[in-house]
Structure 1
Amino acid sequence: MWQRLQIFLAVLGVYGIYSLLHNTFMLHFHQEQDLSTRVSSTDISTSLAMTNTVPIKVVNASFTPGKLHIVTLADNPTREELCPSAASLYTQGYVLGVLGWNYSDTFFDKKTCGTPCQANRDHNNRFGQQKKLHWLHYYLEHHPSLHDDDLVLFTDAWDVIVNGNVSTIPQLFLKQTMGKRGVIFNGEPSCGDSFGMNGHYGDKLREKQWPIRLHKEQKLHYANGRDMCYAIAVKTMISTPISGPNWSLGSGGIVGDVATVREFLRRVHQIRIEQELEYAKNPEQSFLFEGDQILFQLAYLRFPEINAIIDTQAEIFFVLSFLVGEGDFTEFSMEKGCTMNYLANNIGSKFTLNNITPIFFHFPGSSKRHLNQCFSCVARERAHLRPNQYFMDIDRQQNVSIHDVCQRYA
């Protein structure tokens, strides 16, 4: 697998750099107006736009991490897929914080953001993804338990397994950020959930001209949407010190110090508002974002002052994909899923390429077919490992018994 990927990335890098530089130069030649000037002069009056024009604070100084907070967003109290992660974290001494639980439409302080905060009972994909952005943004801005030096980790709720030792996250974070503040995103082997999407929405993303600035010395300029996957690859080559197979930014797993994650989310928030304003002015020629990952990718390509990197070697987050071959993991394969010995004695599966045990396994797309089988292994080892297991409903500020959601757990 690794040799195939090295050849692919080499070709991607050479062609991508040429294509990206050529196209962005031509676009910049014809579009001299600096977007940063236009954005900073835009009047944004929505209730959540407090920080859209605040200058970026450079927050990449060396530091010592504080407490680790682990959070997710999960609304449906009848779904049992949350229990394996919540119980796994509890058995390792961590309490999972859940935002939006039980269709909450108010934040922890009883405030709301209006319509975007309403319960997503119809399971509308765009509505659900936008709710994630609002909840994370408000939580990072206002929750009193968060301190700038703490680490905060967000993980998706329904398709994730805790595979490794969570207590090693601060050490892995400092290793990847070179001892500095920063934010780490899970890596993926393609940008298929954004600029690589099929269909009408994917075409709109590829047809638009997007502002990018890959490093601090570069002036803000425009790139064609068809080159944005290459831009992500180039950005990762520039900013991520550890090479690995998963080069594209995903938003299902995020970890960083509170100050940096807060700053990054402000930029994500800014980009969302810009697009909504553009759509309001000309809905026939514009569109609204249908997921959250695209916004994180756009911020990654536009604000190099923020130390944002990709977990390319999947030390913290491993997103299962078409690149996983037979024998790449112990006790797991993409063809058969988890073996009966998966998590035996609470020992997680190792990635044989680098002998790393990823902390989180993420099962997107077709790999979800293995979740029930793997969840059974989690329950066998962890359902009764510690009594009275619970997670925290952050909005209502109360503990929720895991047993009340999943009867098989203690």
Structure 2
Amino acid sequence: MCEGHTRNDPCERRHDPGARVRRKAGKIRSMILVFFSLCLGALIGALFRFPWYMLFLLAAIFWKRNKDISVVIFFTLLSASLYQIGTLPAGNYELVGYAERGRLKQVKVFQEEWKRIHPVRIETSEEGYVYAIGYFDGKAFHPSYLKKVEKPSLKTLKESFSGMANGTVLSVLFGEKNGDIYRSGLGHFFAVSGLHVGIAFSLYTTLLSFLTWRRTYQELTALLLLVPYVIAVGTPSVIRAYLTIFLWVAFKIFGFRTTPLHTTATVGSFMMIVDPTVVFTPSFLLSFFVTLCILESKNIFELTVKAYLSALPFLCLFFGGTNMSALVLSIPVSLLMIPVTWLAHLSFLLFLLGLKTSALIAAKITNIVSLPLNGFIKLANLLPEVPLPQYLYFILIFFPLLFLSPDIRDIFRKISGRAIL
């Protein structure tokens, strides 16, 4: 039936065992290309105020000549346009929003009427819903008047639970790090990320397995149970982890084949479209770029080394130092984090169900089980902290670029493989 077919005949492509692999690799490269284009667009939008949407015609012009260049142009311009649509020029404003760790989220600005904008940095130690009047300098909002507003929210779950529990359980659940954890260089284990969300997901599915044997029901219910926790924490890394698991479950239910790299790039692209300013937050950069670097690790040692080295440039940029003990102690600490995180999330789940006494008991057991973990933190603090000046960022950034080089090289090969003219 396929006799006489040519090299490009569909019959040959169907019987080619490598065709499916090549198509899958092409989809992954395309999604990574979209992700990096959106990041580039946010940077351009932040640096230069211009009606970038007026240049969308360029993408159409290049479409027949080179579709990949058209994709880069379109998503770069889209991100630059979205960045400027939701951001404010310098000036005096009246704002309301949710303040958390120096960042104002769910922001509305009054300009004849209340309009929603992207999150902004705010100079205040106040946390919770606030109303503020002040000056925005293009980078941060400086309030001359600020008042806290009482508004019920799932965010108050964190405050209520914190009032009941203390110690390691709070550090693990909400990323609240003390000075010892910061100086130890092991703070990334307490920064709530995919590790914590993944462990919580496994805890919930394990508990639900006693109620139903259907894996799909377990996973969907676990995703619902995770929603209050994700909202209570609300960092880009937690949202990234939750959306990654959500897509993984959805793809499996509908029979779509995917890879962790493709799923991560898809989630990152979605978050960039919703809020392009998130690309300038430390948690987003550390979460996505470190995750992309370690996804193809072959063993836990390679994973640990890649995670540490790919995080170094961002430690330079935002924190100014590191502790070399992190490279040595990461493996035992990562193993100890699993039971501690399980118990911490069990305590939070019991609290959500209204079983406060049981939640308190679970929190106290968590603090006891975490004693070896605290011992490693004290051991790490015996070693000096290594300062990392910001200019080293431009040197150390070659580590994540090196780990991502196969994907970057494939992207450039794909773009340049077809003649532009």
Q: TM-score, normalised by structure 1?
A: 0.29
Bigger Rg, which one: 2
Q: TM-score, normalised by structure 2?
A: 0.28
More helix by share: 2
* RCO higher in structure (CA 8 A, sep ≥6): 1
